[in-house]
Structure 1
């Protein structure tokens, strides 16, 4: 039987991202089929239709990609897809909602390498402050850093209630602790930044969260990373193409959105290629994306 590679792309949104479609095809899939407005309850039926339509020895050439904009929902969809398998009828699954899983992985991997290269230090024990933690990139970055042993603070721009709920959800799902904090005023942001060794800026595009004056007062800060590529930058003075470049006359170095994005592209493409070449079913989320990003940065 012909072993055409087929990727079924599921999204809870009204449209599938053209970015993800292009990435999958450029990575080598023969056919890509989008499914929109997919709910969690739809996943089992769709996956089992894909599973049972091909014999087990060809099933490995079938994949499911989970998109959207919601971290928890994407992870729940992976779990639903995993439980829908009926061995030996199995296929591979990869989630990357809004490209956030691979973006978060790339950002943390870049920071980890910079800490090691410039300071001989690791994420373990480092105080990491995440701005934009209510978004998918910030959420995943916080989990990755916490699982690596960092002391992570997630900052809420609109008070502490939402980040408290996120911290509780992270503890329940991943077994790691992150500290919620109120960053609703400039004074509170300044105080939080004053204790940080690493700043991860994952706020909305075009939103500046940290000023140059606040950076100058952050005497412990070594690395700042920003995923915002839309002016103004999330961190003042941090260029989109910065590759561990010093910010002004300060000790802190910056990693810009394009530098992170270049690695993110390689990670997403790499995971698609691993799915295509796998000899048994694989299941990829942001933790797998981080493992690949870290290996690419060595």
Structure 2
């Protein structure tokens, strides 16, 4: 008899995400079980309990999903799951805390395609400013871009301390060098934008980070991506469906910055998360999936411009 595809969904919070539950069910998992208030030191025992209940050849029919809202904790949980494996047993492991890994992957992938097709420019060497960099989406987008060779700056909204700590953490964990600056005031934002070629806006929903006046004063700006779908938009002048549409007011520099909106990014994010769930179901080998795998898949899903 064919083993059922079982997904164990772990979160450090009171509830697993209904969004992720729906995505997993629609992807085709037969059984989905939530585990809430899970701590890092509990992960190993839970993984082994799931792993040893099935013969090794059915290990790829068992998957562990890590949610929550902390990118670093989710990665630590994946590491704990890997360490808990005892050959020849195994389970899949997939982390996407608060949808941040797949959202960040989609944002960077959409921006990359816009840059390549409309500006003839790669991510490598591109100067990227990340607003909302201490949040999970901004954090992951910054790391993905930096791993691709972009020159990334984390922009803080409440002083330098938090973004500097994030920058140090990225260096230690991923070996990437990113800058950190404060961008609380419009004057500080303008200073950042003076040398910026790409903006990633990943601040809290309903918070406007950049106005058209600030964008108009950014002489080197090529593209700006905003993941905020809740009005007002994070970046003024970008419609949620935009994918490479020129932002009004920026053409005065003769460059014409291009906008990438939240629902254009969301479309790719949705397909990416679904695709990774389906990949676990289809695979005969156990997989470990994080934001790097999400970015690889998202690159293939961005629609033609």
Does 1:276 pair with 2:268? no
1:295 aligns to 2:294 (yes or no) = no
Map Cα deviations across residues 260-294 of structure 1 (whole Å, 9 max, x no partner).
00000000000000000111110001011001001
- Quick check: 100-109 or 190-199, which moved more? 190-199
Does structure 1 retain, via aligned residues, the 8 Å contact 2:212–2:249? Answer: no
What pairs up with 1:209-288 in 2 under 5 angstroms?
A: 209-250=209-250, 251-288=256-293
SS at match of 1:297: coil
Partner residue, 1:33: 33
Q: Which moved more, 1:126-135 or 1:244-253?
A: 244-253
The secondary structure found in structure 1 opposite 2:299 is: helix
Q: Distance in 2 between matches of 1:156 and 1:243?
A: 26
Task: Give the Å deviation of 1:4.
Answer: 0.5
Tell me the equivalent position of 1:8. Answer: 8
Q: CA deviation at 1:7?
A: 0.2
**SS state at 1:12 partner:** coil
Structure 1 residues 155-214: Cα deviation after superposition (integer angstroms, max 9, x where no partner): 110010001100000000000110001112110011101111000000000000101100
* 2:153 corresponds to: 153
Q: Distance in 1 between matches of 2:124 and 2:2?
A: 48
State the SS of the aligned residue for 1:60.
Answer: helix
Residue 253 of structure 2 corresponds to none
Render the CA deviation track for 1:23-56: whole Å, top value 9, x for unaligned: 0010010010000000001100100000000001
| 1:105 equivalent in structure 2 | 105
Q: Aligned Cα RMSD in Å?
A: 0.8
* Offset of residue 220 of structure 1: 0.3
Distance 1:119 1:71 in 2: 31
CA positional deviation for 1:16: 0.6
Q: Does 1:199 align with 2:199?
A: yes
CA distance in 1, matches of 2:241, 2:119: 22
Q: CA deviation at 1:108?
A: 0.1
| Aligned mates of 2:76, 2:271 — CA distance in 1 | 25
Count of aligned positions: 298
TM-score, with normalisation over the residues of structure 2?
0.97
Question: 1: CA distance between counterparts of 2:80 and 2:217?
Answer: 47
Unaligned ranges ≥5, structure 1: none
Supply the distance in 2 between the matched residues of 1:294 and 1:64 (Cα, whole angstroms): 24
User: Match for residue 166 of structure 1?
Assistant: 166
CA distance in 2 between partners of 1:196 and 1:95 (Å):
31
